[in-house]
Amino acid sequence: MQNPGLAAPTPSHRATTPTAPYSRRPPSPPYITIPHLPRHELGRNAYTVAPSETNLNAIQLSKDDLAIVTRGKAQVAADMASTWNYEMRREAQSILDYMYIGPTSILRDHTFLKEKNISLAVIVRDSRMGSVPLLSVEKACTACNIEPYYINIENLYHLIHSFPEIIYNLNAHMIKVHNQSLAATGTPRTGSILMTCDTGNDRSAAIVAAYIMAVFGASMHKTVQFVNVQRFCCTFEEDIKRILQTWEDLLQAKADVSANQASLQNMAQRQKSKRGVDDMDMDEGGARLDSDMDRFVGRDAFAPFMDME
């Protein structure tokens, strides 16, 4: 039976009729489809990301710092999907050669922590648990000389506000380990980060994805595939994908501002009383800019209601 609350008013109550079917509920956001990547792309493994200087200003990193953190190495994903089994969700998998994802319980495995030279353990948890000490984390950090980093998240929608600070702290740790080891022994050491949450499947995966998008300049779609192919149990639900999509838009906006900032400072200001529409559509070099009117080209006129005869 149709819900009367979702139906349009009957024709007897008005002098117009809807042109097309509609409902009274709020519009639903479109489903974000993650297409399957081809095995090879432009002559190389499609599951490859490389360090990018595009977002340096957004993540407060210099070119030298980026080189220290990433060592200038491209990261190629290991395809675990074909060999994945259920028990592997309780382990930690390498996403980058210096970053792992796993459940918080993996911190009880001191052998793993020492084998992978984990230097920073990131524990992502609900903010309501922020005051609760985790004995397994404290024991692991003491026994294996690991620095703990707690991230208390109120909900997923507050996560995007924390991305810049989290990414900055992760990179700061990598740089600190490099500089301290270089000063102490003359040989730089690369830090190793373990990102965890209760299951190792959602919040920790979202943070690692945001990190890859910022440091390696990968798109949201490619990053989700890059993470999923290595830890098959990661769940990027629609809310998380929308958050990452918004994060990608923010990074792109900041990159565009940074790219144009230098030229804007040197650009002479033209003295005009008022700029017209034609002026707004032209850049300083006289080239035509894309207009918002372009989205209406070829679109047929549509009236949501029509008069009843």
Closest by CA to 23, choosing from 40, 42, 4, is: 4
Provide φ and ψ at 61, rounded to 5°: -130, 145
Would the CA dihedral through 57, 63, 65, 66 be positive or negative? Answer: positive
Residues in CB range of 306: below 8 A, 6 or more apart: 16, 17, 19
Tokens of 295: 């989205």
Closest by CA to 193, choosing from 281, 307, 107, 65, is: 107
Tokens of 272: 């005009």
Report the C-alpha gap between 235 and 88 in whole angstroms.
15
Report the C-alpha gap between 120 and 71 in whole angstroms.
18
Report the C-alpha gap between 121 and 113 in whole angstroms.
9
Question: Is 10 within 8 Å of 303 (Cβ atoms)?
Answer: no
- Please report where in the chains the tokens 């804007």 appear, as a residue: 264
Tally the residues of the chain: 309
The whole-number pLDDT of residue 1 equals 46
Angle between helices 220-228 and 238-266 (to 10 degrees): 130
The alpha helices in the chain, defined as continuous H runs, are 63-70, 110-115, 135-144, 156-185, 203-216, 220-228, 238-266, 277-280
Residues of the chain where predicted confidence (pLDDT) is lower than 70: 1-14, 37-45, 262-296, 309
* Residue 222: Cβ within 10 Å count: 21
Report the C-alpha gap between 161 and 9 in whole angstroms.
42
**Count of alpha carbons within 13 Å of 116, Cβ hemisphere only?**
26
Question: Is 116 within 8 Å of 100 (Cβ atoms)?
Answer: yes
The whole-number pLDDT of residue 37 equals 67
Tokens of 168: 């900055």
The whole-number pLDDT of residue 88 equals 94
